[in-house]
Chain A
Amino acid sequence: MFSLGLTGLLVRRNLIFVLMSLEVMLNAAGLAFIAAGSRWHQPDGQVMFLFILTMAAAEVAVGLALVLQVYHRFKSLDVDMLSGMRG
């Protein structure tokens, strides 16, 4: 799942897709945590997953707000257009 998310992140140029791939990667990490917690019969894995979830939520909120700004400024959602820090 993580690999898929990474591939998606690298391939797609639309900003929304990038954020979605990011979600996929976070989800995969959370899955790994749950599996680990389940293997050792401890609740810590779920606790970790909860934190990841919280963070993902906050990140999505801010990220989408930025997407809105980008869209209104550049009238496009191409990630490659945001190359102002070139050189």
Chain B
Amino acid sequence: MISWLWLIPALPFLSAALLILFGSGWSRRAVAAVGVGSIGLAASITFLIAFRFWSAPPAGDAYTQVLWTWIRAGGFQPQIGLYLDALSLVMILVVTFVGFLIHIYSAEFMAEDPDYSRFFAYMNLFVASMITLLLANNLLLLLLGWEGVGLCSYLLIGFWYRNPNNGLAARKAFIVTRVGDTAMMLALFLLFSSLGTLQIQDLMQRASHQWQAGSTLAATAALLLLGGAVGKSAQLPLQVWLPDAMAGPTPTSALIHAATMVTAGVYLIARTHVLFAMAPAAQLAVAIVGATTLLVAGCSALTQHDIKRILAYSTVSQIGYMFLALGVGAWQAALFHFVTHACFKALLFLGAGVIIESLHDEHSIFRMGGLRKELPVAFWTFLIGGSALAGLPFVTAGFFSKDLIIWNAWSAQGGHAMLWIAGMAGALLTSLYTFRMIFRVFFGPLGTPVTRRFGYRMNVPLIVLAFLAVVGGYLKTPLLGFLHSALPATIERGTRGLTETGSEAVAGILFLIGLYFAWLFHLQKRSLADALVANSTARALDRWWFADWGFDWIYEKVFVRPFVWTANINRADLIDTFYTGVGRMADMLYRGLSNTQTGRVRWYVTGMAAGTVVFIAMVLYL
């Protein structure tokens, strides 16, 4: 049964290929059947394998399936090999199941789009690449999946390509993640040249034997891998692409930019945790990146108007939490938060999609309102998802996972009081912006009226995800126990005066504070919000945070302008002149020679006579 592992990436690849080749000729029903069905099949196989793995784990808690050898070049022989352990199993469970729900949702969401088959082709290709990334047993295959998801992200952000802004957003995403990818490739080169292999398990073994803890090589490799993860997971300083990526269709945002692709960075760091454990400086860098990102993104989310952009910044912030957990050595906590986050963030995005489409493509929360009675399913599921995000105590999964991380930020060996404070501040911000969004959209007087209502295909996934968002918290102990086989336990440092319950209590209080202020400013006395905006410092702060703390502006000035300037200077293209020069010389030679063909007899006779003279002279004197 476990040997069916290869079907999990193969089925979506196959369906993507079929849809690309033949999809435009099929009916919508057929396209949906193939597109959704392949992911459904992959999800069921994943469940079966998970059950088998759980009940009868293979030797060493890991299962390897080598399909074939990819490249044979001397000592470099990477394979197409799949590696299944608890870490990758958990991740592919989430990817396939949440992916399946999102595909069902998008079967109805995109029903009126003329490029229906293209959409499903790209989505299936994305799922296939993501699974390849997760199941890869060597870093080169992982890189293949990495690039594949980057490609699909580009294709799907710019799905409605007729609008040039979507193309710009897609290119921005691709280029920014490319910066991260370059760092990651450098890391691969470094690892291969010093350790001689890219097989992940072998690599970890050799690294722990050959490199000492704290060596510069390990630190460099770890920092470069962090660079790659930062790019793909949209952390500081490469987070600028994710808010603009909301130009894509909402199911894309849900699948790629909330639940799965952006967590590829988390997966990468978790996979290579041995390297990070050997380089405490790099690990601290991970934690600092996570902590700063969650604060920066949280502040930015507080000022946004577009509902999808709020959720995008929220995603950046939550992944910051995951990075924070990885940075302090709380590996299982990071994965637990990933699982819960995938559920509730996908739920929130899908709900946002329902809202936006019901109001005929209205994105701004300030023009919405009073949808509590109009869209009940969306309201309740969104409320559940938002509470999970903000961390409603005891009921929602998000509470358990986020608080585990914040607790570990205090108590784990890599933890620090500042990190704990940052985590708590982030929790407050999360609660604030989430309930701001909910109160503005669902409560208050009716804003834009509802013009469309959707059927079961869009509502059922919302309900399922809401259910998971609630019960997911109770998965904590079994999940963490399960992950023990793949990730080391978090090393505790000693509690120093704060217990886990105490930390959770603080988090709960902050949740309530955030809820109260959001209720105050955005429901009870909305005039207070207007008064706040009228204050000039508040307005300046608001504008600064709205522009994502000026990162776009900095990048524009520092990178884009000089590059465009140099490109303009080189418009005549120095290198090309060499090649065109060859052509032009041939042209000149042609012109010169064709001028000697005058067609006149006397000219030719002159030529002959001169040639004779020269020839005789040569004979005489040489």
Do A and B touch each other in the complex, judged by CB within 8 A? Answer: yes
Q: Residues of A at under 8 Å CB distance from B?
A: 6, 9-10, 13, 18, 79-80, 82-87
Q: What number of residue pairs across chains A and B have CB atoms under 8 A from each other?
A: 31
B 461-473 to A, binary, CB cutoff 8 A, 1 in contact else 0: 0000000000000
- Tell me, rounded to whole Å, the shortest Cβ–Cβ distance linking A73 to chain B: 16
- The chain B residue with its CB closest to the CB of A15 is B601
Give the interface of B toward A (CB within 8 A): 594, 597-602, 605-606, 609
> Least Cβ distance of A74 to chain B in Å?
14
**Min CB distance, B77 to chain A, in Å?**
61
24 A-B residue pairs with Cβ-Cβ distance under 8 Å, sorted by A, are A6-B605, A6-B609, A9-B602, A9-B605, A10-B602, A10-B606, A10-B609, A13-B602, A18-B601, A18-B602, A79-B602, A80-B600, A80-B602, A82-B599, A82-B600, A82-B601, A83-B598, A83-B599, A83-B600, A84-B599, A85-B599, A86-B598, A86-B599, A87-B597
Q: How far is the CA of A10 from the CA of B602 in the complex (A)?
A: 5
Chain B neighbourhood of A80, CB < 8 A: 600, 602
Q: How far is the CA of A80 from the CA of B604 in the complex (A)?
A: 11
In angstroms, Cα B599 to Cα A6, docked, is 19
Once the chains are docked, how many angstroms separate the CA of A87 from the CA of B609? Answer: 21
Nearest Cβ in chain B — how far from A21, in angstroms?
A: 10
Q: In the assembled complex, which residues on chain A have CB atoms less than 8 Å from the CB atom of B600?
A: 79-80, 82-83
Chain B residues in 8 Å Cβ range of A10: 602, 605-606, 609
Q: How far is the CA of A80 from the CA of B61 in the complex (A)?
A: 96
Residues of A within 8 Å of B602, CB to CB, are 9-10, 13, 18, 79-80
Instruction: Give chain B residues whose Cβ lies under 8 Å from the Cβ of A83.
Output: 598-600
B interface, over-half SS: helix
Closest residue on chain A to residue B604 by CB atoms: A85
How far is A79 from B604 in the complex, measured between Cα atoms in Å?
A: 12
**Contact partners of B606 in chain A: CB under 8 A:** 10
- Kindly report which residue of chain A lies nearest to residue B595, judged by CB atoms: A87
Task: List the A side residues contacting B598 at CB < 8 Å.
Answer: 83, 86
In whole Å, how far is B204's beta carbon from the nearest beta carbon of chain A?
Answer: 74
Nearest-neighbor residue (CB-CB) of B606 within chain A: A10
Q: Which of B601, B605, B609 has the most CB of A within 10 A?
A: B601
**Which residues does chain A contribute within 8 Å of B599, judged by CB atoms?**
82-87
Q: With A and B bound together, what is the CA distance between A18 and B599 in angstroms?
A: 16
Residue A79 contacts which of B594, B597, B601, B609 (CB distance < 8 angstroms)?
Answer: B601
Q: Which residues of B contact A82 (CB under 8 A)?
A: 599-601
Q: How far is the CA of A79 from the CA of B599 in the complex (A)?
A: 10
Q: Looking across the interface, which residue of chain A has its beta carbon closest to that of B594?
A: A87
Complex alpha-carbon distance, A9 and B602, angstroms: 7
**In the complex, A82→B599 CA distance in Å?**
7
Chain B residues with CB under 8 Å of A86's CB are: 597-599
Closest 5 CB pairs of A and B: A83-B599, A86-B599, A85-B599, A83-B600, A80-B600
Please, how many angstroms separate the alpha-carbon atoms of A9 and B597 in the complex? 19
- Which residues of B lie under 8 Å from residue A79 when comparing CB positions? 600-602
* Neighbouring B residues of A9 by C-beta, 8 Å: 602, 605
Please give, as numbers and ranges, the residues of chain B lying within 8 Å of A87 by CB-CB distance.
Answer: 594, 597, 599
Question: Cβ of B597: which chain A residues have Cβ within 8 Å of it?
Answer: 85-87
Q: How far is the CA of A6 from the CA of B598 in the complex (A)?
A: 20
Chain B nearest CB from A53 CB (Å) reads 23
CB distance from B615 to the nearest CB of A (A): 15
Query: A80 vs B602: C-alpha distance in the bound complex, in angstroms?
Result: 8
A83–B597 Cα gap in the complex (Å)? Answer: 9
- Nearest chain-B residue to A86 (Cβ)? B599
- Please indicate the chain B residues that have their CB under 8 angstroms from the CB of A18 in the complex: 601-602
Given the complex of chains A and B, what is the CA–CA distance between A79 and B601 in angstroms? 7
Interchain CA distance A80-B601 in the complex, whole Å: 7
In whole angstroms, what is the CA distance A18 to B600 when docked? 13
Could you say which of B597, B600, B606, B609 has the most chain A C-beta atoms within 10 Å of its C-beta? B600
Instruction: Give Cα A34–Cα B601 distance, bound, in whole angstroms.
Output: 30
Q: How far is the CB of A24 from chain B (nearest CB, A)?
A: 14
Question: A47 to B217, alpha carbons, bound, how many Å?
Answer: 98
CB distance from B592 to the nearest CB of A (A): 13
The distance in angstroms between the C-alpha atoms of A86 and B598, with both chains bound, is 5
Chain A min CB distance to B119 (Å): 59
Residue of A nearest to B597 (CB): A87
Nearest-CB residue, chain B, relative to A18:
B601
A22: nearest chain-B partner, CB-CB: B605
User: Apart from A10-B606, A82-B601, A84-B599, what are 18 other A-B pairs with CB-CB below 8 Å?
Assistant: A6-B605, A9-B602, A9-B605, A10-B602, A10-B605, A10-B609, A13-B602, A18-B601, A18-B602, A79-B600, A80-B600, A82-B599, A83-B598, A83-B599, A83-B600, A85-B597, A86-B599, A87-B594
